[in-house]
Amino acid sequence: MSQIAIAFTGQGAQFIGMGKHWYDEHESVRQRYLQASEVLGYSLEELTFEGAADELTRTDRAQVALLVLEYAMFEVLTERRGNDGLVVIGHSLGEITALVAADALSFVDAVRLVKARGEAMAAAAAETPSGMSAVLDLTPDQVTDTVQRLRGAGHSVEVSNFNTARQTVVSGAPSGLAELANVVEGMNGRCVPLNVAGGFHSSFMESAREQYAAVVAEIELRAPRLDVWSTVTGDRVETADQIRDALARQLTAPVLWEKAVRSIARADVSVWVEIGPKPVLTRMITDIVSGSSTANLYDDEAAVDAAFDAREIARRTPGIIGLCLGAVASTRNRNFDDAEFTRGVVEPYQRLVALNQGVDEHGVAPVRSEAEMREALRLLSDIMTVKQVPASERNERLDEILRRSGAARELVG
Number of C-beta neighbours around residue 13 at 10 A: 23
| 278, 13 Cβ separation under 8 angstroms | yes
Q: Please say whether the beta carbons of 135 and 170 come within 8 A.
A: yes
Q: Mean pLDDT for each consecutive 10-residue tract of the chain (413 residues)? A: 86 94 97 98 97 93 97 97 93 97 98 96 94 97 98 97 97 97 97 92 94 94 97 96 96 97 86 94 91 87 85 68 82 86 90 74 57 88 93 90 74 61
Burial of 412 (0-12, 13-18, 19+ CB in 10 A): middle
Rounded to 5°, angle at Cα 157 from 152 and 162: 115
Which is catalytic among the residues 2, 160, 201, 381?
A: 201
Alpha helices in 41-139 (DSSP H): 44-50, 53-57, 59-81, 94-101, 107-127
Is-contact 191 234, C-beta < 8 A? no
Catalytic residue among 2, 92, 130, 381: 92
Report phi then psi at 145, rounded to 5.
-65, -40
Provide the pLDDT for residue 313: 62
Query: Regarding beta strands 167-172 and 157-164, do their DSSP bridges make them parallel or antiparallel, or are they unpaired?
Result: antiparallel
Cα 169 from chain centre? 19
Task: Say if strands 131-136 and 86-90 run parallel, antiparallel, or are unpaired.
Answer: unpaired
What residues are paired with 296 via a beta bridge? 274
Cβ atoms of 7 and 91 within 8 Å: the answer is yes
CA distance 394 to 390: 6
- SS3 state of residue 275: strand
Q: Domain 131-193 classified CATH 3.30.70.250? A: yes
Residues 392 and 399: their CA atoms lie apart, in Å, by: 11
Q: Would you list the domain boundaries of the chain? A: 3-127+201-315, 131-193, 317-411
Q: How far apart are CA 188 and CA 328, in angstroms?
A: 60
Clarify whether 92 is annotated catalytic. yes
Catalytic, 201? Answer: yes
**β-bridge pairing 269-275 and 3-8:** parallel
Q: DSSP label at 411?
A: G
Neighbours of 362 (CB within 10 A): 9
* CATH of the structural domain 3-127+201-315, one choice from 1.20.210.10, 3.40.366.10, 3.30.465.10, 3.40.640.10: 3.40.366.10
